Amino acid sequence: MIEQTWRKSSRSASAAQCVELAVTDEVTGVRDTKNRDGGTLVFRARAFRAFLTEVKTAGRG
């Protein structure tokens, strides 16, 4: 379990169908806001940054 502050995008407003992130220097945790106790996906920080870069790049095309 990640002992860090969870946050969701400010763009999600009060929408219930979002994910939350907990970011540390080592890992990034991702969980569903509708089911916070349902499990957490954990990614190494470097891998998650690479994923975000790829998503941002793909969105420009």
- What's the pLDDT tens digit per position in 28-49? 999 988 888 899 999 999 999 9
32 domain-assigned: yes
Percentages (nearest 5) of helix, strand, coil residues in the chain:
30, 25, 45
2 domain-assigned: no
38 domain-assigned: yes
Enclosing domain of residue 33: 10-58
Q: Given its phi and psi angles, is residue 55 left (phi above 0), alpha (psi -120 to 50 degrees) or beta?
A: alpha
3 domain-assigned: no
Count of the separate structural domains present in the chain: 1
Q: What is the pLDDT of residue 2?
A: 59
18 domain-assigned: yes
Give the global pTM. 0.75
1 domain-assigned: no
